Amino acid sequence: MCDNKKTHTTVSRRTMLGGLSAAGLSAYNRETLADNRKPQAGGQKLNPGLQQMMEAAQAFLNLLSKDLQRQAVFPLSSDEVSNWHYIPTYIAALPNAAQMIMHKRNGVSIKEMSLEQRLAAHALLRSALGTQGYLKATAIMHLELVLREIEITLGRNVKEATAIRDPELYFFTVFGTPSKEDAWGWRVEGHHLSLHFALLGNRFIAPVPAFMGSNPAIVKHGSHAGSRLFAAEETLARELLQSFNAPQSSQVMIDTAAPNDIITKNHRRAELGKPTGLSVAKMSGAQREVLMRLIQEYVGNFTADLAASEFNRIKAEGIEKIHFAWAGSSAVGKAHYYRIHSPKLLIEYDNTQNDANHIHTVYRQPDNDFGLDMLRQHYDKSSHHRGVGE
């Protein structure tokens, strides 16, 4: 039934997971997670969170066949590390695939995995994301079924819609060898989800770029009507926008028209030049608090330890350097865009497509996406790694 009301009830993110078991996307076994937290005897001691992630990656790879292992693993020095996108996955079998806007992905898709391998893949995903982030990520996958239903209703070819809007077309890729001594990383990616993690021994050096999107932003029809994944990301930003006085608003508003996507798109480097908009230094204490709550909504997608590390990094680099900018309409339901930007932080949010009911968000470190800069510094100091990662 169509919901003609102007407001929509926000459905719990947990409700969005209702159809996941049929797609083989059920949450991982908690006993397996508990086992992954047990420390290994001897050798270098890892941070418990990193230990869990390393062991989850190892367990996932060990469950794959030799062929799937070769498909899943790439060298850390490979260009594949930064080969990322958030558009639908390229499907060669479709007759008009060449004319569609799609991305050719590498790695092992959920569709190719057995149930045991899927559970291991989700254990790896859960080792990096807190409850909030894990529910968002899996709900994004499930939204492919909602989008498929919408597109078929609107007249799209059933075979084409079924092939493209597939909650199993999410790919897991590992870079290097999961190790407590050396550098390695991994990625999970598909339509509207692209998460990257880079580690170096006992250090988590980069959880970026972290892209999440939602189409539709608010489900308006069917059994999931009212579902809204990014309510806080919009609500907090609007609360901040509405708190500004006239002089502040004149600095915040950088354009009357919103861009049709996040500006940095899938670029390897997030280069936007000098931050624009209103600096935190010119905000009141109450406004700063709302901005920091908004930033926490993004970093809060990660596990508690990683989120705290990211938030502390942002504060240590000086919150006064952060700028908040808005483009487009300030009216609810109209096309709008905002960003939070400093030399070492970039958050972009865009809701313009499909009549402003299609959200793209990204969390990035302009100086260290994919952990490449920190890895390069490491390799420059380590002669036995000379040339790796260049």
Query: Tens digit of pLDDT for each residue in 244-257?
Result: 999 999 999 999 99
Task: Please check whether residues 313 and 261 belong to one and the same domain.
Answer: yes
Instruction: Retrieve residue 287's tokens.
Output: 């406004």
Peptide bond into 247 cis (omega under 30): no
DSSP 369: G
Q: Which domain holds residue 177?
A: 15-220
Q: What is the mean pLDDT of residues 202-209?
A: 90
Q: Is the pLDDT of residue 265 over 80?
A: yes
Neighbour-count burial of 67, counting CB atoms closer than 10 A to its CB (0-12 exposed, 13-18 middle, 19+ buried): exposed
Q: What is the mean pLDDT of residues 16-32?
A: 39
- The single residue listed with the structure tokens 């598909």 is 190
Task: Please check whether residues 213 and 237 belong to one and the same domain.
Answer: no
Task: Please check whether residues 237 and 201 belong to one and the same domain.
Answer: no
Q: Is the pLDDT of residue 161 over 50?
A: yes
pLDDT of residue 380: 64
pLDDT of residue 7: 39
Name the pLDDT band for 203 (thresholds 50, 70, 90). confident
Task: Please check whether residues 278 and 133 belong to one and the same domain.
Answer: no
pLDDT of residue 32: 36
Task: Please check whether residues 211 and 262 belong to one and the same domain.
Answer: no
Instruction: Retrieve residue 127's tokens.
Output: 């080792």
Q: Please give the tally of structural domains in the chain.
A: 2
Q: Is the pLDDT of residue 219 over 60?
A: yes
